[in-house]
Structure 1
Amino acid sequence: MKNIVGISLLFLLLIGPWYFLINEANGEFVFYSSLILTLFLTIIGFVIFLENRNPVQTIAWLVVFGAFPFVGCIFYFLFGRNFRKERIFHKKYFLDKQSFVKISGEAEHHERIREMGGSSQQLFTLANRLGNSPISFTTETRVLRNGQETFFNIIEQLNKARHHIHLEYYIVRDDEIGCVLKNVLMEKAREGVEIRFLYDAVGSWKLERSYINDLKQAGVEMVAFGPLHLPLLNNTFNFRNHRKIIVIDGSVGFMGGLNIGDEYLGKNPKFGSWRDTHLIVKGEAVRTLQLIFLQDWYYSTNQSFLTDEYLMSGSELHQGDGGVQLIGGGPDSEWTIIKSIFFKMITSAEKSVWIASPYFVPDDDILQALKVAALSGLDVKLLVPKNPDKRIVYHASRTYFPEMLSSGVRIFQYNEGFMHSKIIIVDEQLASIGTTNMDMRSFHLNFEVNAFLYRTESALQLVNDFKEDLKLSQEVEIDAFSKRNIGLKVLESTCRLLSPLL
C-alpha cells in the first residue's frame, strides 16, 4: 500500500506543475479536466505497478507521463498495455502445446542427440522442452542470400504446388513483386489448389483492399492476424505476427527475414541494396513449419486443419547432413522461448559468438551474456547496419556500443545498403536463422519463428556469408565512437529510454 501511495504522490508531483500553469490561464473547466487526467494517469500508474514490470520500464513510463502527459496517454494505449498474455492466448497456447507434443513423440532421435555431446545436447533438449518441437536429422535446408534468390525459388516452388499453399507474412505490399506473387496465387487457386494467406494487420496496414479482394475473388482465403477494429481498446494491438512462412504441399517450406515487397529486392532508393537471409526447407521439419501456420490459422479463424492430410504429407525423409530444429515463439508461450535458446547458445559457446541483427536493443540477460563471453576471451562479433530504417531503434542500439566495446565485443557496421539478416552463429557449428531480432519486441511481444541448425551445410554457408559480410563492413573503434557530439548522445539516450516502452 505504501508503494501505491508513493507512486500516486510521484505522479501528482510530476504532473501537478503542468496543470497549475494551465489552470491559471484557462479557468475552472480546464481545472476539472486536468484533475480528471491526473487521476486517470494515477490509475495507469497503479496498473503498471501491479503488473510487476521491469523496473526500467516502470521508471520510463513515469518519466514519459510526467514530461508529456497527453502524448503519454496515447502512447500507453497503443504500445504500453501489458495485458495478461496467458489470459489472451490461453486457448492458443494449450492447443499449440498439445499438437507439438504429438509430433514430438513421433520423431525421437535420442541416440543422435546424445552423440552431439554436452552443450549441444543440452541446447536441443532445452529447445525441445520449451518449443515442444523435435530435432530432425532427415531434413534438407539451403540458405538463400538475397531477395532475388529467395523470390526466384519461392515462385518456382509455388508453380509446382498441387494440393495446398500456406503463406504467413508480417508485411505484404502491393508492388511489383507483390503483384507477381498475387498473379501466381490466383492462377494456382483457379487450378484448384487450396491457398490460405495470413497477413499481419499492423505490418500490412498499407496493403490495398483491391489486392485482397482480387485474391479472394480468385479463391484464395485471405485473413488478417490481429485485425484492428478500435486500436485504443484492442488488447492484442501490441502483439504482432512477425513470422514469414510458406508451406507448399506439406513438403517444401520457406522461412527467414524477407517479407513481400520491392525493398527486399533492393528496389527502394531509400535503402539501396538489401542484404537478407532466407531458408528453404525440405523433409521432416516442414511438418513443424506447417503446424505453426495451422495453429496461427486456427487462432485467427477457428478453422482447424490439424489432420494427417496436412501434417503427414511432409514426413518423407531427405538426406539430412546434420540437425535441424524449427521453433516458434511468441506472447502465447509460457516461456520466452527463442530468447532463452539464444541465451543458452551464447553462454554455452566455447570459441566464438557471431551475431547479425538489424535491430539491437537487448535486454539485460542477453547483454550480460555477450559481455561475459567477450570478457572470457571468446570471439564475439556483432554485425549491424550502418544506415537505419527505424531511427529510434537505431539510435537506441548505439547506446549499448561503449560497454560492449569495453568488454571486448567487436562491432561492425554493414556499409552496402541495408542489412536485415537475423543470424546467430556459435563456434562455427551451430547457427540460428529466422525472424527474431535481437531486441525486446521480438523476445517478448512478437510471434516469431527460427531454425536452429547443427553441423549442416547451411550452417557452414552462414559462417562463410558472415565472413563475406564483414568484408563489406567497417569496424567501430571505441576511441572514435566516444567522440560523438553531445547532441547525438542525448538523442541516443532518449531513444534508449523509450525503447523499453515499445
Structure 2
Amino acid sequence: MSLLQWLHRLEWPLLLNYLGVILGIVFALILIPRILRHKHSPAGTLAWILAVLLFPYIAAPLYALIGGRKIQSLARRKKPLRFAKTQSETCPTGTHTVDALLQTYALPSAANGHRFFLLTGREERSQTLLELIDSARQRIDVLMYLFRTDEIGRQVVEHLIAKSQAGVQVHLLLDKMGSRSAARRFLEPLLQTGGKLAFFLPQIFRSNLRNHRKMVIVDEKIVMAGGINIGNEYLGWIRRRPIWEDLGFVFEGPAASDYAEVFRTDWEFACGEAIPPLRPESAPAASTETDRSGRVQAVPSGPDVEGDPLYDIIMTSIFTARERIWIVTPYFVPDDPLMQALRLAAHRCLDIRILLPEKSDHRLPDWARLPLLRELQAAGAVVHFYSAGMMHAKAFIRDRDLAVVGSANFDMRSFFLNYEMSLCLYDPEHIRGLETWFLDLIPKTVSKLPAKRKYDDLFEGFLRMIAPLL
C-alpha cells in the first residue's frame, strides 16, 4: 500500500478529534502549574483552572494575554524601587496608621512642607499643564499611559519642542499599549530637537504589567499627576460630546523627589539609560511660602514594589474607618475581601458612597460591577452614577484624616497587575477640598441601579465568576 493510499484511508475527522484532545491536555499540563505558582486570589486561580480545563484553546491565549502577575520574568527584569528617605521597615510609632503601614514596605514616609492644588476643571487642567512645561529650567520628565495624537497632543508636543530647543532636557516615557496610536513619526520633531522618547514594555498584546502611572515632573521640584492622560477627552473637547470628568493635582515639596525616583527607575527599565538626579545646589530653590505645611506621602504600587501597598492601605482604611468611606472610580471590580470590608462598613452604619460613571468607556466592567453594587446598596451603601458624561477620576476618602488620589482604579487590575502611582493626603484642608469637589458632583448623578431583567441573575452570576479575570 502506498503512502497516499494509506493517508486516504485514514479517518481524518476522528484523528483530528484525538489530536484536539491531546493538545488540550498538553495546554492544561503546561498552564495549570503556572497558574498555581502565580499569586492570584483563590477565586481567580480556580476560575483560570476551570477555564483551561473547559476551554483550553480560548483560555491558553487569554492567559498569555492577561493572566500573569508579579513573578513573570518581565517583572523581574525591572529593579525594585528604592527610596533614600525611608525611615523604618519595622512598625513605627506615633504616626498615622497608613503612614506606619507604608513605611514597613520600605516606602517613603509622609512629609510636611508641600503646596498642593487639586485640578478639577478643563481649562484649569490644560492651562496648568502647559504653564508647568513652560516653567521648566533644567528638565521635564513626562510619563503617560495614553498620549493621543489629537489637538491636545499636538499642543503639548509643541510646548515640549520649544523647551527642548531652549536647552531643557525632555524625557517622554509612554506605555506601548496605552499609547500605541502615538506613532514615532508624530513625535519625530521632538526627537530632532534633542528630546528623548521611550516606550514601556513594547509587547502591545500583553494587557498586564502596563505602566498606568501618569506624571509630569519639572526640575524634580513640581509634579502634576492624577488620572489625567494627554488627549482631548481629558484636557479638551470631544466632538459632539463634553470632556471627561477627571481629577488631577499639582504639588511642590519633598515628595516630588519620590516621583522623580519612580520616573528614573521606569525610564532606565524602558530604554536602559540611567538619568542622574539633579544636583540639589543647581536645582531651582524651593518656595518658602507659609502655606507649605501640607502633609502628603507618595505611594507607588505594582510589580516593582514589594507586596501590594495600595491595596493594603485601602483595606486597612476601610476596616478602621469610623465615619465614612467615599470612593470615586471609573471601574469598580474589587475582589471578595474588599467587597466584604465594604459590606461590613455599610453594616456598621458608616457613610459609604461610591461615585462612578453611569456608562464608562468599557462595557464589560460596567456589567461586572452590577451584582457588586447591588450587594453594597442592599447593605446600606449609596451608589452615585455620574450622568453628565464619562467619570474618569480616581479618589478615596476615609473619615476626615486620609484621602488617596492618583492613577489607580478601584479594580483588581490596578491593585495587583499594573504599575500605579498614588498620593496620600493627610492635611485636613486638602481633604476638605476633595470633599467639596465630590459633593459638587452629586447633583449630576442618579442613584438608581438598572432594573433587573428576566435573565440578569444568570448573566450576573457568570460575570461574578469571571470577575477575577478582569
RMSD: 2.6
Of stretches 384-393 and 455-464 in structure 1, the one that deviates more from structure 2 is: 455-464
Q: Which residue does the alignment assign to 2:330?
A: 358
CA distance in 1, matches of 2:455, 2:223: 47
- Shift, 1:439, TM fit: 0.5
Q: Which residue does the alignment assign to 1:28?
A: 15
CA distance in 2, matches of 1:268, 1:226: 29
CA distance in 1, matches of 2:280, 2:229: 24
CA distance in 2, matches of 1:317, 1:343: 36
1:309 pairs with 2:284: no
CA distance in 1, matches of 2:306, 2:135: 38
Contact residue 125 and residue 235 of structure 2 kept, 8 A: no
TM-score w.r.t. the length of structure 1 is 0.84
The residue type paired with residue 58 of structure 2 is V
The 5 Å alignment of 1:269-284 reads 269=239, 272-284=242-254
Aligned counterpart for 2:59 among listed residues 67, 72, 78:
72
Q: How many pairs align?
A: 456
Residue by residue over 1:180-238, the C-alpha shift from the partner in whole angstroms, topping out at 9 and shown as x without a partner, is 00111111111110001110011111222311322212211000011128x5xxxx762
Residues 417, 391 of structure 1: CA spacing in aligned structure 2 closer, same or farther, 3 A cutoff? same
Contact residue 329 and residue 409 of structure 2 kept, 8 A: yes
Whose helix fraction is larger, Structure 1's or Structure 2's? Answer: 1
CA distance in 2, matches of 1:339, 1:330: 10
1:397 pairs with 2:355: no
Residues 90, 421 of structure 1: CA spacing in aligned structure 2 closer, same or farther, 3 A cutoff? same
TM-score w.r.t. the length of structure 2 is 0.90
The 5 Å alignment of 1:287-326 reads 287-309=257-279, 313=283, 316=286, 318=288, 319-326=291-298
Aligned counterpart for 2:159 among listed residues 184, 193, 209:
184
Aligned counterpart for 1:250 among listed residues 202, 220, 226:
220
Residue by residue over 1:92-142, the C-alpha shift from the partner in whole angstroms, topping out at 9 and shown as x without a partner, is 11xx22xx1x23359xxx9xx94xxxxx72221112332511212101000
- Shift, 1:159, TM fit: 0.9
The 5 Å alignment of 1:125-274 reads 125-130=100-105, 132-228=107-203, 231=205, 238-265=208-235, 267-269=237-239, 272-274=242-244
Contact residue 429 and residue 455 of structure 1 kept, 8 A: yes
- Shift, 1:174, TM fit: 0.4
Aligned counterpart for 1:343 among listed residues 290, 312, 315:
315
The residue type paired with residue 49 of structure 1 is L
Contact residue 353 and residue 426 of structure 1 kept, 8 A: yes
CA distance in 2, matches of 1:315, 1:492: 56
Structure 1 runs of 4+ with >4 Å offset: none
1:437 pairs with 2:409: yes
Residues 25, 399 of structure 1: CA spacing in aligned structure 2 closer, same or farther, 3 A cutoff? farther
The residue type paired with residue 203 of structure 1 is G
Contact residue 28 and residue 53 of structure 2 kept, 8 A: no
The residue type paired with residue 45 of structure 2 is T
Q: Which residue does the alignment assign to 1:18?
A: none
Q: Which residue does the alignment assign to 2:4?
A: none
Residues 315, 333 of structure 1: CA spacing in aligned structure 2 closer, same or farther, 3 A cutoff? farther
The residue type paired with residue 422 of structure 1 is K
Contact residue 287 and residue 314 of structure 1 kept, 8 A: no
The residue type paired with residue 462 of structure 2 is T
Q: Which runs of 5+ in 1 are unaligned?
A: 1-22, 115-119
Contact residue 85 and residue 332 of structure 1 kept, 8 A: no
CA distance in 1, matches of 2:15, 2:273: 55
Q: Which residue does the alignment assign to 2:79?
A: 92
1:415 pairs with 2:387: yes
- Shift, 1:67, TM fit: 4.6
Of stretches 264-273 and 380-389 in structure 1, the one that deviates more from structure 2 is: 264-273
CA distance in 1, matches of 2:175, 2:146: 7
CA distance in 2, matches of 1:326, 1:47: 33
Q: Which runs of 5+ in 2 are unaligned?
A: 1-9
Contact residue 410 and residue 476 of structure 1 kept, 8 A: no
